[in-house]
Amino acid sequence: MPNTQAYAAYNAKDHLKPYAFDRRAVGETDVQIDIEYCGVCHSDIHFAHNDWGMTEYPIVPGHEIIGRIKAVGDKVKNYKVGDLVGVGCMVDSCHTCSSCQKDLEQFCEQGMTMTYGSPDKIMGGVTQGGYSTQIVVDESFVLRVSEKLDTKAVAPLLCAGITTYSPLRNWNIGKGDKVGIIGLGGLGHMGVKFAAAMGAEVVMITTSPEKGADAKRLGAHEVLVSTNEEDMAKHANSFDFLLNTVPVAHDINPYMPLLKIDKTMVLVGATPVDLNSMNLIFGRKHIAGSLIGGIKETQEMLDFCAEHNIVSDVEMINMQDINTAFERVMKADVKYRFVIDMQSLKQA
Ligand code: NAP
Ligand code: ZN
């Protein structure tokens, strides 16, 4: 019998279904992790649906993985059996290029190995993600997780957390900055928590007025409904930074006048956008992108969360409920991250 049970997408259209496959044996520098929880990222949906044209089926999504170490290779230095650990969006990189040497493995010049959907250099085929009972990962891509935090609510930090923490740090956001977080979903709710913890004045920019009270509970000082032109005009030329997490193709022109001169909107939503260059030219404004964060920064983010008592707001599901969860995420109906309890898969 294969050593790993999972749920996989078999094609772009049908529901995810049970799947079994073999993970590699534990290598010298590998750890084997018994997966306890895995978050459901919108990227899992993009990938299952082949939105990016790169999916090879069957594919097991999941890159917000939390679990305990079950076995370690002979040369593992930093972990032991029983440790609580996480795995995010990457499981390998070349370790030698200039990006890797700068702790930016996500930009590895040879191409990082994504947790799922990358060529698997050891087993052949493609790597398979965390909607599964166990995973084997080189220790250099494993993160240490504090036992102080609510474990299941830590899982989303491995992607939603680092993807919002990294740009806020890179653009030096802090006290005195007015920051707009666009889209209150998995990434957005972490963006609000981090920006508030870093001391910024945080405005939640949403298409869902009914999420306003939650946004404030999460740390937003103000809520701006992006479809209300009058309110958008009141905030013109006032923002130091915008973090755009919208997961569908959209027009960013209405948001650009919110920025002050020389300020930046960072896109993390992996989707096409419409932009009229006039909205950059007038005000010398910037558009940038950001991709997760390196391993060192991901550990820094997890340590920041332990220090500031930050976790995700999660709704727990069983593995068998994944297709309903996907549908609800696509309708922006999630508060604010689904997390799979992998016990449900182990017992099935
Ligand atoms: P999510 O939980 O579905 O949240 C997205 C939010 O965007 C929704 O809750 C909704 O918030 C808003 N939204 C949805 N449709 C919209 C529309 N048509 N116009 C304006 N706003 C809309 O998604 P997520 O997991 O946070 O992921 C967000 C995106 O980031 C995805 O594309 C994902 O693939 C990408 N991602 C990128 C990275 C990276 O490294 N760059 C990492 C992880 C994920 P409101 O109801 O508040 O409007
Ligand atoms: Zn993700």
Does some domain include residue 303? Answer: no
The verdict on 64 and 97 lying in the same domain is yes
Averaged pLDDT, 243-266:
98
The verdict on 27 and 137 lying in the same domain is yes
How remote is the CA of residue 236 from the centroid of ligand 1, in Å? 23
Does some domain include residue 83? Answer: yes
Q: Give the residue from 203, 201, 197, 228 showing the smallest Cα distance to 215.
A: 203
The verdict on 137 and 185 lying in the same domain is no
Q: What DSSP designation does 24 have?
A: P
> What span, in angstroms and rounded, lies between the C-alpha atoms of 292 and 98?
18
Q: Can you give the pLDDT at residue 215?
A: 97
Q: Tokens 């017992």 correspond to what residue?
A: 347
The verdict on 90 and 104 lying in the same domain is yes
pLDDT in tens, 123-132: 999 999 999 9
The verdict on 342 and 259 lying in the same domain is no
Q: Which pTM does this prediction carry?
A: 0.98
The verdict on 13 and 139 lying in the same domain is yes
Averaged pLDDT, 134-153:
97
CATH number of domain containing 230: 3.40.50.720
> What span, in angstroms and rounded, lies between the C-alpha atoms of 88 and 47?
15
The verdict on 141 and 15 lying in the same domain is yes
Tell me the best of 38, 40, 43, 223 to mutate to test the pocket of ligand 1, counting ligand atoms within 8 Å of each CB and taking the most: 43
Does some domain include residue 46? Answer: yes
For ligand 1, is residue 187 a contact (CB within 6 Å)?
yes
Domain of 171, in residue numbers: 161-289
> What span, in angstroms and rounded, lies between the C-alpha atoms of 94 and 117?
17
Residue 85 binned pLDDT confidence (cut-offs 50, 70, 90): very high
Whether residue 1 is predicted with pLDDT greater than 90 in this model: the reply is no
Whether residue 46 is predicted with pLDDT greater than 90 in this model: the reply is yes
Question: Alpha-carbon dihedral of residues 309, 163, 5, 69, nearest 10 degrees?
Answer: -50
The verdict on 129 and 232 lying in the same domain is no
The verdict on 182 and 277 lying in the same domain is yes
Whether residue 94 is predicted with pLDDT greater than 90 in this model: the reply is yes
Averaged pLDDT, 74-79:
98
Does some domain include residue 304? Answer: no
CATH number of domain containing 142: 3.90.180.10
3-class SS of residue 42:
helix
How remote is the CA of residue 42 from the centroid of ligand 1, in Å? 7
Whether residue 348 is predicted with pLDDT greater than 90 in this model: the reply is no
Averaged pLDDT, 301-313:
98
Does some domain include residue 300? Answer: no
The verdict on 13 and 146 lying in the same domain is yes
> What span, in angstroms and rounded, lies between the C-alpha atoms of 167 and 51?
24
For ligand 1, is residue 183 a contact (CB within 6 Å)?
yes
Residue 197 binned pLDDT confidence (cut-offs 50, 70, 90): very high
Question: 3-state SS of 279-314?
Answer: HHHCCCCEEEECCCCCHHHHHHHHHHHHHHCCCCCE
Mean pLDDT of the chain: 97
Residue 182 tokens, joined = 């666009």
For ligand 1, is residue 115 a contact (CB within 6 Å)?
no
For ligand 1, is residue 245 a contact (CB within 6 Å)?
yes
Does some domain include residue 268? Answer: yes
Instruction: Quote the number of domains for the chain.
Output: 2
Residue 289 tokens, joined = 């992108």
Nearest CA to ligand 1 atom 11: 183
Burial 65-100 (b: 16+ CB within 10 A, else e): bbbebeebbeebeebeeebbbbbbbbbbbeeebebb
Contact in structure between 161 and 190 (CB atoms under 8 Å): yes
Does some domain include residue 302? Answer: no
pLDDT in tens, 222-232: 999 999 999 99
The verdict on 280 and 327 lying in the same domain is no
